[in-house]
Chain A
Amino acid sequence: MIEIFTGPVPLQAYLLLASFLFCIGVWGLINSRNAVRVLMSIELMLNSVNINLIAFSSYLDGALIRGQVFTIFVITVAAAEAAVGLAILLSLYRNRVTIDMENFNLLRW
């Protein structure tokens, strides 16, 4: 089936690695109580998606490396997201003097 130990690194190895990283990110996103760690989990998930895009671009797309272009856009959006997210976090911290996610429940019904 997959010849991990006899040939070059197969596509499935990269996909498995990205799956692991994505699930780690999802778990951290749900369970972190520190708001900064939530942002870090989001970055982990974005990185796993980027690994997927680059792997598909290299293995399936031939000389048209469209996956790399998409990865550039994802990195751009991730940088914008991190900046705005951390600014929101600073503003929240100034108003509520905590970064515990359990205390951010003003909009809960």
Chain B
Amino acid sequence: MNIATSTEVICFAVLATVVVIGGLGVILLDNIVYSAFLLGGVFLAVAGLYLLLNASFVAAAQVLVYVGAVNVLILFAIMLVNKKEDLKPIKSLRTRKILSAGVCAGLLGLLIRVNLTTPWSLPGPNGIGEQATIRIGEHLFTDYLLPFELASVLLLMAMIGAIVLARRDVLVSDVGTGKSVNQSLIEKTQPPLLIDKSSK
């Protein structure tokens, strides 16, 4: 076991510990702001795992998209909706948690069994390294061209949809033509209609 291998094993152990403990913290901590920052730590550790697996481009994309965009978006959402509210106690909550933990443990056992008993035909880790980005570009523009273009349409749809869903102010008339705007999709500034009656 040479020094490069042992370094890889140590890096993997540290990153795996961060991922598992961070993931548990994300779902178990009471304060959701701590959960969001731990989620950022998990994303960074996963990016480190990608680097260990010779996927430098995907690691960079992970840091940019997940840590830079998704995590910041989640933090913004927390800041916007972070109202201290007393959750109503539900009966049989503990039973539900224990049952779902049992189901998840069963799923985990199944996955572990599949992982360990399947004879993977291992050529071993490839040393493609710096060529990976070039290969990804070739894939994206030859045999994965259609999903690539569809992804751009999907991002446009998600952007417009998010703006329409989240906007609060309403334009009464169109800026260009002066006609009145169809506002059926836009939420009006009105008192909330759907407040839970049982909470009063």
Considering the complex, give the chain B residue whose CB is closest to the CB of A19. B111
- Minimal beta-carbon separation of B192 from chain A (angstroms): 5
Q: How many A-B residue pairs have CB under 8 A?
A: 261
- Minimal beta-carbon separation of A109 from chain B (angstroms): 17
Interface residues on A, range: 35 or more
- Minimal beta-carbon separation of B85 from chain A (angstroms): 6
Please report the C-alpha to C-alpha distance between residue A64 and residue B88 in the assembled complex, in whole angstroms: 53
Q: Does B115 lie at the interface of the complex (its beta carbon under 8 Å from any beta carbon of A)?
A: yes
- Taking a contact as CB atoms under 8 Å apart, the answer to whether B66 and A75 are in contact is yes
Please report the C-alpha to C-alpha distance between residue A73 and residue B135 in the assembled complex, in whole angstroms: 15
- Taking a contact as CB atoms under 8 Å apart, the answer to whether B165 and A72 are in contact is no
0/1 per residue, B20-39, Cβ < 8 Å to A?
10011011000010011001
> Chain A interface mostly helix, strand, loop or mixed?
helix
Considering the complex, give the chain A residue whose CB is closest to the CB of B161. A84
Please report the C-alpha to C-alpha distance between residue A27 and residue B108 in the assembled complex, in whole angstroms: 11
Interface set of A (CB-CB < 8 Å, partner B): 1-2, 4-9, 11-17, 19-28, 30-34, 36-37, 39-41, 43-44, 47, 50-51, 54-55, 57-66, 68-69, 71-73, 75-84, 86-91, 93-100, 102-103, 106
Interface set of B (CB-CB < 8 Å, partner A): 1, 5, 8-9, 12, 16, 19-20, 23-24, 26-27, 32, 35-36, 39, 42-43, 46, 49-50, 52-55, 57-58, 61-62, 65-66, 69-70, 73-74, 76-78, 80-81, 83, 85, 87-88, 90, 96-97, 100-101, 103-105, 107-108, 111-112, 115-116, 120-126, 128, 131-132, 135-136, 139-140, 144, 147, 151, 154-155, 157-159, 161-163, 165-166, 168, 187, 192-196, 199
